[in-house]
Each structure stands twice: as structure tokens, then as C-alpha cells.
Amino acid sequence: MDLLATPWGLGRREGDEVAVLDLPHRDVGALVADTGSLAAASTATVLRRVPVAEALATALPPLPAPGTVWGVGLNYRSKARATGREIPAEPILYVSAASSVAGPNGLLPHPSGVTDQLDAEAEIAVVLGRRLYRASEREAWAAVAGVTAGNDLTARDVMKATGTPALAKSFPGCTPLGASVLDARTLADAGSIGVRGSVNGVVHQDDSSADMIWSIPELLARISWYAALEPGDVFLSGTPAGTGQDRGRYLVPGDVVTVEVDGVAPLTTTVSSAATPVAPVARADALPAH
């Protein structure tokens, strides 16, 4: 079961229709905050049915106000091979701004004037339903409420100049999530979830969580020994090979990026021209190295 936030209310995908549910929650984030899971949606009364194409075209952000947004760098063996890097001895964990989160079908203003190397990263994202602190891997996976698609967009030149993921990944709209959220209870484990990323209809990333260096439960448990994870927190689990960094081709206005995760409605984002200067700062290649 996966859920969509629609203009008519929270909806459950059922074949070629979306069943709009009699629930007080307008989005998946609100349902998780209230109940800790997606379970209530499985038995809720259906108010109306909408063609899935219409629901997807008008889908709203399923997780519009997450708590902390966690991520991990270089977590696929394929990505390490593509970049010629060694497997890290420890996971490269970071936090990015929650204000960067966006929904499906959005326009992403290109942060021109700051970066020439904006890159898409197709990722499996999870949302927490329960608090985690000093948890085991089993406890960590049990605390996951839902799985969704994420695009952890990164300004590669900003990352190189500053060494700070939070700056390279926190531009407004640079963390799209959606389009739907899959009930984690429908997955036996996190070990074989497929993820694909395309630009302008051409698939460049195609892998699964089986190629991860550290599994999602491992990483959630690892974080929980240093910081408490709260309901509504989102974790982005890394990107496989095939990014623009690997191909030497970065995003420009007009590009359409789609991320697909098994069991989740596709997440599509269109890069647009920035209407106003993003920030009154020097270009990334002029920023001091740290």
C-alpha cells in the first residue's frame, strides 16, 4: 500500500485509481506524526475515487514538513567504483536543511550564481514513525513508517569548495520527496529495494539497496547511538553510480529528472531558471576551501 497527498485528501493507490480516504490528515507526514505509521490508511473509509493519472498530475508534497533530514554519502559500491574512491571505513553522515524539501511535479529554481554543477541523486528515502535512540538494527527497521523516492540534489562545486554537505544540498527545492509513500510493513526487509534515476527520459541510474555498503537499518541504528531520531525525520540512503558527476554532465534549466523506487509513484522535478539571484555570495569556484 502506498499513499498520495491529493487536493481531495489523503489517497491510497489501488490499480488505476486512487481511493481518497476519510481521514483528518492532509498528507502522509501528518498521518505519521499522529499515529506513527501508515496503518490507519489501510482500513479507512473511501470517500471518492480518482483516476491515478489525475491524482499523480496534481499530487501534493507527501512529507511537506519533515523533522531532521539525514543523508549518507558514498553508500553504493557502484558509486565508489565510478568515482575511483575507496570504500569508506565509516559512513559519511550529514544533515541538510529541512527547508530544502519539496514535493513531486515541482519546479526547481537553478541556484545559478552559486553553482554550475547541480547534480541529481536518485535515492531511497525513509520516514521514521517512532523515536530511535541507541537502537539495534532490528529496532531501527521496525521504526520506519514509510519508504519513498528522494532526489538529494547536490551542487558538486560547492561541495568541493566548502567540504560541507549542508551547504551543497540545502538550496530551496533541492530535496524533492514523493510522489507517494509506501507502507514499510509491506516490505520484508530493506535489502532489495530498486531505485532508478533518469534525466529527460534517459535512465542513468539503475541499482538496488543490495549494493549498499551499509544497509538502511545499519545506518539508522548507527545514527541513533549519537543522536535521537524522531517521528517524521527523513533519511536519504545514498545514490548509485550514474550521476552527472560520473558522466560529466550537470543539470541545466529545462531538464526533467525522475526518480523511481520500487512500489512508489515516480518523483518528477523540472529544473527552471532562477527568478532572482539565489544568494549574494561569490561563485563556488571562488569560495575559500576549508
The whole-number pLDDT of residue 284 equals 39
As a whole number of angstroms, the distance between CA 161 and CA 97 comes to 19
**Each residue of 185-201: pLDDT tens digit?**
999 778 899 999 999 99
The whole-number pLDDT of residue 167 equals 97
Q: Which three cell numbers stand for residue 9?
A: 485528501
The whole-number pLDDT of residue 162 equals 95
- Residues in the chain predicted with pLDDT less than 70, given as ranges, are 275-290
The whole-number pLDDT of residue 289 equals 41
Query: Long-range contacts: 246-251, Cβ < 8 Å, 24+?
Result: 246/79, 246/82, 246/83, 247/204, 250/116, 250/117, 250/118, 250/119, 250/156, 251/110, 251/118, 251/119, 251/120, 251/153, 251/199
Domain boundaries along the sequence of the chain: 2-57, 69-286
User: Which phi-psi region, left, alpha or beta, contains residue 125 (left: φ > 0; alpha: ψ -120 to 50)?
Assistant: beta
Residue 13: its H or E element: strand 9-14
For 107, the 3-state DSSP assignment is strand
User: Which phi-psi region, left, alpha or beta, contains residue 204 (left: φ > 0; alpha: ψ -120 to 50)?
Assistant: alpha
**Residue 168 CB neighbour total at 10 angstroms:** 28
The whole-number pLDDT of residue 287 equals 42
Cell numbers 541499482 correspond to what residue?
A: 207
The end-to-end CA distance of the chain, in Å, is 45
Phi, psi of 179 (to 5 degrees): -75, -25
Query: Rounded to two decimals, what is the model's pTM?
Result: 0.93
Superfamily of domain 69-286 in CATH is: Fumarylacetoacetase-like, C-terminal domain (3.90.850.10)
**Each residue of 228-281: pLDDT tens digit?**
999 999 999 999 999 999 999 999 999 999 999 999 999 999 999 974 443 333
The whole-number pLDDT of residue 189 equals 78
Among the residues of 84-155, which ranges form H helices?
137-142
